[in-house]
Structure 1
Amino acid sequence: MLKYYKEILSQYEYASLLQTLILIAMVVVFVTIFIKVAKKPKGYYKEDEHAPLDLEPEEEEKNNTK
């Protein structure tokens, strides 16, 4: 089954060049995200770590009782 997709996706001109550029762009994006997260101070996400999962429980309880 994969060979059929492979034939379809590689029939256009410059297919290997475009696939290589897309792969490089994806790697650059993920490395950039990793570096941005790694550069944050140690306690930067501490407040988010202890955040409640439900931000407005009282309003939802009122809506459920109606």
Structure 2
Amino acid sequence: MTTRALPPITTLTEAQQRGWACVWCCGALGIGLGVDLGEQRVKPADGAAYSWFPRQCPDATACEQRETS
């Protein structure tokens, strides 16, 4: 599990918010792949609260290399 603070949801793509792509490097995550970072709740200033479901790559080293590229 990550110890990094999650990025602001406003900076993420829909795929990252739904756990289809890594929250850090945007790498695609197939079914059963990736590390679940748990359901997150957001309460925007205007609008209803909602959940998002971030995941990260299972290989942290490769993810860091893609993130810095």
Select the structure of larger CA radius of gyration: 1
Tell me the TM-score normalized by structure 1: 0.21
Tell me the TM-score normalized by structure 2: 0.20
Higher relative contact order by CA 8 Å / sep ≥ 6: 1 or 2? 2
Bigger proportion of residues as helix:
1
